[in-house]
């Protein structure tokens, strides 16, 4: 894989793929712009390298597209997913006044764009093109006509086989951006050379990848502290009656296998918060139990909440764990996952951790040893 610093960017037109799929409220106010800010170093690097033109490409949400619908109708029918609020936020960080932003049609482009300056234009939501998620060759070809070079700085979508992530690399010389480089450097250190003890705190739902992380990292991590549906599933393998709690039944065999192989390293809750026959949080006994491992850790990886955090009464376990992590000043802590980061943001703790990843599923996939299509595409791009 080639990185952006290896590219000759002067007077070149650059197609820059980013991940600006940020959370927004019902009034389309951005709730967390960390992903936008994380890409600023790459954008500024391109500017300072005197790139002639920077076309920024991002997705947002899941548009509804009718069969053979034209782009203007698609945009009209998905007004809640146009990129205007995101472009305005980006303009603020680039010190460009909102009044200077123009929505324009672009020669050779399948999408209109928001012109921020003579140098920077943000294309409208790439998922308005039906070929994007199909990894369509013609969609990628049409995007390639805009540029001389492709730069992928969208770490959060490297696990997607989409046209602006994978197929585009067959048309343009391709490079990884500064954010992608930074994300992988952090993950590679966890995998290959973590400061020990390495403690991985895994919670929440969607447990397949997290189980595979335990399988892949069982010889490298010192302890796995489990909460949420993750813990419920493992508890069920110990003949503990979890009653009506959420359990991923199709993963019980894998959980049983992992417990048999790594029982000493897998730490399950000793106390739980119940509500209507469901486990919805860890209690103070488990917090105290987990604290013994966290306080001694030198590297901490945290993904997935300890409870049903959409309800305030079941957020306490997660918040207590975050507070204990912060107290360990000697550990490098990596946080990832939307729900986990949401809790960090809610408590305004963003500056208290070594690194907050812009990836969720992609981070889990990589740590689990799974191939990332976007990374594979960057490893085998079109030659210069």
Whether residue 125 sits in one domain with residue 20: yes
Whether residue 351 sits in one domain with residue 295: yes
d(CA 78, CA 275): 39
Type and span of the H or E element at 76: helix 71-77
Residue 107 contacts residue 99 (beta carbons within 8 Å) = no
Asked if residue 377 is part of any domain, the answer here is no
Whether residue 236 sits in one domain with residue 168: no
Asked if residue 306 is part of any domain, the answer here is yes
Q: Which domain holds residue 306?
A: 194-367
Whether residue 217 sits in one domain with residue 138: no
pLDDT at position 381 is 63
pLDDT at position 144 is 97
Residue 383 has pLDDT above 80, yes or no: no
Asked if residue 17 is part of any domain, the answer here is yes
Mean pLDDT of the chain: 95
What DSSP designation does 354 have?
Answer: S
Model pLDDT for residues 305-339, shown as the tens digit of each residue: 999 999 999 999 999 999 999 999 999 999 999 89
Asked if residue 375 is part of any domain, the answer here is no
Model pLDDT for residues 283-295, shown as the tens digit of each residue: 999 999 999 999 9
Once rounded to an integer, what is the mean pLDDT over residues 127-136? 97
pLDDT at position 59 is 98
pLDDT at position 162 is 98
Whether residue 261 sits in one domain with residue 353: yes
Contacts of 73 (CB under 8 A, 6+ apart): 66
Where are the strands (E) in the chain, listed by range?
13-17, 53-57, 102-104, 113-115, 120-123, 149-152, 174-176, 198-202, 223-226, 266-267, 272-275, 278-282, 299-303, 332-336, 355-356
Whether residue 167 sits in one domain with residue 23: yes
Once rounded to an integer, what is the mean pLDDT over residues 260-271? 96
pTM of the model: 0.94
Model pLDDT for residues 167-194, shown as the tens digit of each residue: 999 999 999 999 999 999 999 999 999 9
Count the domains in the chain: 2
Report the DSSP beta bridge partners of residue 300: 199, 333
Between residues 171 and 381, the one the model is more confident about:
171
Residue 205 has pLDDT above 90, yes or no: no
pLDDT band, residue 206 (cuts 50/70/90): confident
pLDDT band, residue 244 (cuts 50/70/90): very high
Once rounded to an integer, what is the mean pLDDT over residues 149-164? 97
Whether residue 336 sits in one domain with residue 201: yes
Whether residue 199 sits in one domain with residue 175: no
d(CA 244, CA 241): 9
Domain C-terminal end among 148, 179, 210? 179
Q: What CATH number does residue 104 fall under?
A: 3.40.50.1260
Residue 347 is encoded by which pair of tokens?
């408590």
Model pLDDT for residues 212-231, shown as the tens digit of each residue: 999 999 999 999 999 999 99
Asked if residue 200 is part of any domain, the answer here is yes
d(CA 269, CA 306): 10
Once rounded to an integer, what is the mean pLDDT over residues 63-75? 94
What one-character-per-residue DSSP string does 212-232 give?
HHHHHHTTT-SEEEE-HHHHH
Once rounded to an integer, what is the mean pLDDT over residues 45-56? 98
């Amino acid at each position: 894989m080639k990185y952006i610093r290896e590219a000759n960017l002067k007077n070149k037109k650059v197609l820059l793929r980013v991940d600006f799929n940020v959370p927004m409220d019902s009034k389309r106010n951005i709730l967390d712009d960390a992903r936008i800010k994380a890409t600023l170093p790459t954008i500024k690097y391109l500017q300072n390298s005197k790139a002639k033109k920077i076309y920024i490409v991002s997705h947002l949400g899941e548009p509804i597209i009718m069969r053979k619908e034209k782009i203007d109708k698609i945009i009209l029918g998905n007004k809640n997913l146009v990129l205007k609020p995101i472009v305005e936020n980006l303009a603020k960080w680039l010190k460009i006044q909102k009044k200077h932003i123009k929505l324009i049609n672009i020669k050779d482009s399948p999408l209109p764009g928001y012109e921020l300056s003579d140098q920077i234009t943000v294309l409208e939501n790439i998922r308005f093109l039906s070929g994007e998620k199909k990894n369509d060759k013609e969609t990628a070809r049409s995007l390639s006509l805009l540029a001389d070079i492709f730069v992928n700085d969208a770490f959060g979508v490297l696990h997607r086989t989409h046209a602006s992530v994978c197929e585009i690399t067959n048309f343009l010389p391709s490079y990884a951006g500064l954010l992608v480089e930074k994300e992988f450097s952090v993950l590679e250190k966890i995998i290959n050379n973590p400061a020990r003890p390495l403690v991985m705190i895994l919670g929440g739902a969607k447990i397949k990848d997290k189980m595979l992380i335990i399988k892949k990292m069982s010889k490298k991590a010192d302890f796995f502290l489990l909460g949420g549906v993750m813990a419920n599933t493992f508890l069920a393998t110990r003949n503990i009656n979890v009653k009506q709690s959420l359990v991923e039944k199709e993963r019980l065999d894998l959980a049983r296998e992992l417990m048999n192989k790594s029982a000493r390293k897998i730490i399950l809750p000793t106390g739980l918060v119940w509500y209507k026959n469901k486990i919805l949080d860890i209690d103070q006994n488990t917090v105290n139990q987990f604290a013994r491992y966290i306080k001694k850790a030198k590297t901490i990886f945290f993904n997935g909440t300890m409870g049903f955090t959409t309800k305030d009464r079941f957020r306490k376990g997660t918040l207590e764990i975050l507070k204990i992590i912060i107290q360990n000043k000697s550990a490098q802590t990596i946080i990832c996952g939307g729900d986990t980061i949401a809790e960090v943001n809610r408590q305004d703790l963003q500056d208290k951790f070594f690194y907050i990843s812009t990836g969720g599923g992609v981070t889990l996939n990589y740590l689990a040893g799974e191939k990332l299509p976007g990374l594979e595409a960057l490893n085998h791009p079109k030659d210069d």
